Amino acid sequence: MNNKIKQDEVNKAVWAACDTFRGTVSADVYKDYVLTMLFLKYLSDVWQDHYEGYKSQYGDTPELIAELMTNERFVLPESANFTTLYKARHEPGNGERIDKALHAIEDANVGKLRDVFQDISFNSNKLGEEKQKNDILRHLLEDFARPELNMRPSRIGNLDVIGNAYEFLIKNFAADAGRKAGEFYTPPEVSELMAEIMDMAEGEEACDPTCGSGSLLMKCGRRVQANFGGSKRYALYGQESIGSTWALAKMNMFLHGEDNHRIEWGDTIRNPKLLDGEDRLKHFDVVVANPPFSLDKWGVDTAENDRFGRFRRGVPPRTKGDYAFILHMIETMKPKTGRMAVVAPHGVLFRGSSEGKIRQKLIEENLLETVIGLPEKLFYGTGIPACILIFRKTKADDKVLFIDASREFKSGKNQNQLEDGHIAKIVETYRARETVDKYAYLATPEELTENDYNLNIPRYVDTFEEEEEIDLVAVRAERLKLKAELVALEEKMDGYLKELGY
């Protein structure tokens, strides 16, 4: 089965489909078209493959086949099939036909796909006037009809080829999107690091309150699959404020076979939607997030009267929402098993005023477990270094571990990366929970108090490298030797000049 399809061929084919749009619309616009078409093509190929399989097995028995097809993950109306759209590609109205197909798919699968396609329109003027738009969409349909993008299960087997291709596209779009990339994607190695540290177990629930395209959340689920023989006995929850990004997350989940998920659309701070049966914040075993850095206008106006009591330790500054997300996450950890990992700018470690008071209370409550300093230029859209804060409801001790991983990375022109060895070292140090010279320090409560609850990593991890002592006598001797050699060279040069008549 592995010989039938190669991941890199699929990746190249889907990336080539982007050429249809380049020069016409920007990447942050056409990414939605390409990713949505990949999802549509996948649904169509799976449906067609299963339909033909039943037909070859049971012959011409339409009623029986129709009954069997009701057990499919998704219902696909005939008018919404990719093959139907492809056959009509030379006719006017490609944009309108694709939009109608998406709406038909949504209506037929409303429990899973409600509102997923509401922010995407292939009939939009963003693609130009009618003739140009029709030509662009004809090319797109032809791109996805290529043999490399035959996504039938009988061809790809159980390989996660389609999910990987979707992730490949999202990563490449993030690399091209500049500052906007942070809205929907966390670098995969950072997600991997956070997932390893959280080490989600079978039967647990994980949540990402700013889930973007859902990649970080799914990394947590894959830890369960890896450690428990492929088990999918876990649940993933998320919330995302940007409608188009929320749709990406939903499609991403389904393409990776993550059917046991609940991804809500809305502002996590102003309107948290992951609630329990008693209209309170739902609690989770694992909470992870890469929230927007220092978000302005995060919802301070309603924070003081927050009905969930998330800001009882203090209200974060109006123009910096970092602690708003941290405090929300703190409140959603389960009382015993709850643990969380959050990416944040270094300012959360040392800024004063209300943030300093919040930080002090979190430390005094013995919730902060570890601070990990990361290298610069890891994240899309910003070159500043960030950190990961680990909180835990039930800690093994009252200390805080500081890890300075900022100096170990693979350097890149525009983006630095953490390699497997770097991740393994951080995880090993985190689990050992011991001081490591010039890399990690286990600080006591007394030390944290002495530093006025300032968590700036250099206060605890001394990375200073002593310079080798200079032997002044040897330096002077070398200088005199060079001076003598210079005199000899000048005399030699004078001789040459005299021979030449100067």
What is the per-residue DSSP string for 183-239? GT---HHHHHHHHHHH---TT-EEEETT-TTSHHHHHHHHHHHHHTTT----EEEEE
Note whether 299 and 327 are within 8 A (CB). no
Examine the domain organization and report whether 84 and 192 are in the same domain: no
Examine the domain organization and report whether 427 and 481 are in the same domain: no
pLDDT on residue 345: 95
Note whether 94 and 137 are within 8 A (CB). yes
Q: Is the pLDDT of residue 1 over 50?
A: no
Residue 298 tokens read as: 């995060």
In a domain, 1, yes or no: no
Q: Is the pLDDT of residue 235 over 70?
A: yes
Examine the domain organization and report whether 199 and 313 are in the same domain: yes
Q: What is the pLDDT of residues 33-77, one digit of tens each?
A: 999 999 999 999 999 999 999 988 888 888 888 888 888 899 999
Examine the domain organization and report whether 240 and 128 are in the same domain: no
**Residue 191 to residue 230: CA distance in whole angstroms:** 20
Q: Is the pLDDT of residue 162 over 90?
A: no
Q: Among 28-32, 210-214, 458-462, which is the least confidently predicted range? A: 28-32
Instruction: State how many domains the chain has.
Output: 3
Domain end marker among 176, 209, 234: 176
In a domain, 465, yes or no: no
Backbone angles phi, psi at 86, to 5 degrees: -65, -40
Q: What is the pLDDT of residues 384-419, one digit of tens each?
A: 889 999 999 999 999 999 999 999 999 887 789 999
Domain end marker among 126, 152, 176: 176
In a domain, 168, yes or no: yes
The domain in which residue 496 lies consists of 471-502
Count CB atoms within 10 A of the CB of residue 305: 7
Q: What is the CATH number of the domain that holds 39?
A: 1.20.1260.30
Examine the domain organization and report whether 295 and 434 are in the same domain: yes
Return the SS3 of 286: strand
**Residue 381 to residue 415: CA distance in whole angstroms:** 10
Sorting pLDDT into bands at 50, 70 and 90, what band is 464? low
In a domain, 464, yes or no: no
Q: Among 138-152, 238-252, 365-379, 480-494, which is the least confidently predicted range? A: 480-494
Q: What is the pLDDT of residues 484-496, one digit of tens each?
A: 888 888 888 887 7
Examine the domain organization and report whether 489 and 400 are in the same domain: no
Overall average pLDDT of the 89-118 stretch: 96
In a domain, 466, yes or no: no
Overall average pLDDT of the 459-483 stretch: 78
In a domain, 219, yes or no: yes
Note whether 324 and 269 are within 8 A (CB). yes
Sorting pLDDT into bands at 50, 70 and 90, what band is 4? low
pLDDT on residue 34: 93
Examine the domain organization and report whether 171 and 47 are in the same domain: yes
Examine the domain organization and report whether 170 and 195 are in the same domain: no
Examine the domain organization and report whether 338 and 433 are in the same domain: yes
pLDDT on residue 265: 96
Sorting pLDDT into bands at 50, 70 and 90, what band is 467? low
Sorting pLDDT into bands at 50, 70 and 90, what band is 184? low
In a domain, 381, yes or no: yes
Domain end marker among 154, 176, 198: 176
pTM comes to 0.87
Examine the domain organization and report whether 34 and 166 are in the same domain: yes
Examine the domain organization and report whether 438 and 479 are in the same domain: no
Overall average pLDDT of the 449-475 stretch: 83
pLDDT on residue 478: 85
In a domain, 250, yes or no: yes
Q: Is the pLDDT of residue 2 over 50?
A: no
Instruction: Calculate what percentage of the chain has a pLDDT beyond 70.
Output: 95
Examine the domain organization and report whether 193 and 168 are in the same domain: no
Please, what's the b/e burial string for 284-298 (b: 16 or more CB within 10 A of its CB; e: otherwise)? Answer: bbbbbbbbbbbbeeb
Q: What is the CATH number of the domain that holds 265?
A: 3.40.50.150
The mean predicted confidence, pLDDT, of the chain is 91
Bridge partners, 235 (sequence order): 205
Q: What is the pLDDT of residues 196-225, one digit of tens each?
A: 999 999 999 999 999 999 999 999 999 999
